[in-house]
Structure 1
Amino acid sequence: MAARAATLPVREGEDRWTGTELAEVRAALVEQIAGLEAEIAASTTQIAEGDTADGAGDDQADTGAKTYEREHELSLAYNSRDLLTQNERAVQRIDAGTYGTCESCARPVGKARLQAFPRATLCVSCKQREERR
């Protein structure tokens, strides 16, 4: 991992990645992946159990509250799946040696940015440009 870390791009003025630093980022991502997988499994079970609930005798307010709760649970599950995908892609980029390269302009994302937000795929300039759209 040390040899791969030394070849990762960094912005001007930043120190090169060390094998230890890259291993720590990768380990944190893998840990988050495991937690998200468990969270997704639990929410999927909870959503499925809610689908079997009998709504007989519910008034409109009860039905609306149940619908709102279900939509909220589905939204949380979707967000967790999205984070899981982002974390998995980050680990794949580390393993492939492409971690730290902006997917838009191919310049370095920046070591400091990746240490703060390890799932980042865009440099700050490209991310700002994307958010303005």
Structure 2
Amino acid sequence: MRDDESPWTAKELREIRAEIESDVEHLRQEISVAEADLVGLMRDAGDGAGDDQADAGAKTFEREQEISLANNAREMLDQNLHALERLDDGSYGICESCGNPIGKLRLQAAPRATLCVTCKTKQERR
């Protein structure tokens, strides 16, 4: 927390944890569905005999789309699990780059944030 912000209350931290845990459950379900869909798409890839180029391209696009969705969900899941670890070890709210506090409002808007606004801005410029 920054100097101009009030300290985290136990209730606020419980609310953040509950939100992150809910996201974790949702992402695990999303990954499971995406993986099942991908298995179906991969199985159908072998049935392409007689497909024209447009059909083959559409199937490839669909597979790539599912892979991308699953990878994005996995990345979000990892970020959420890391946020839970930080809550557990007491480092939640501390920038992993500079060690300064991450603004409370930033964390309420983006509970998975690991960088303060300054460090995040620097990272995005690279």
Structure 1 and Structure 2 fold alike (TM over 0.5)? yes
Q: Distance in 2 between matches of 1:44 and 1:79?
A: 12
1:77 maps to 70
* Amino acid corresponding to residue 34 of structure 1 in structure 2: E
Measured in 2, the distance between the counterparts of 1:28 and 1:96 equals 18
Q: Segments of 4+ in structure 1 off by > 6 A?
A: none
What residue number does 2:21 align with? Answer: 30
1:20-58 Cα shifts (integer Å, max 9, x gaps): 000000000000000000000011011001111111110
| Counterpart-to-counterpart distance in 2, 1:52 and 1:115 | 42
Structure 1: distance between partners of 2:34 and 2:61: 15
The answer to whether structure 1 residue 94 and structure 2 residue 71 are counterparts is: no
The two structures have a TM-score, normalised by structure 1, of 0.92
Q: How far 1:62 sits from its partner (Å)?
A: 0.2
1:64 aligns with 2:67: no
Q: Give CA-to-partner distance per residue, 1:86-114, whole Å, 9 cap, x none.
A: 00000110011110000000000111110
CA distance in 2, matches of 1:57, 1:34: 41
Report SS of the residue matched to 2:16: helix
**Structure 1 unpaired stretches of 5+:** 1-9
Aligned length: 124
For 1:61 and 1:103, how far apart are their aligned partners in 2?
47
1:105 aligns with 98
Q: CA RMSD in A?
A: 0.6
Distance 2:30 2:118 in 1: 33
1:11 counterpart letter in structure 2: R
TM-score of the superposed pair, with normalisation by structure 2: 0.97
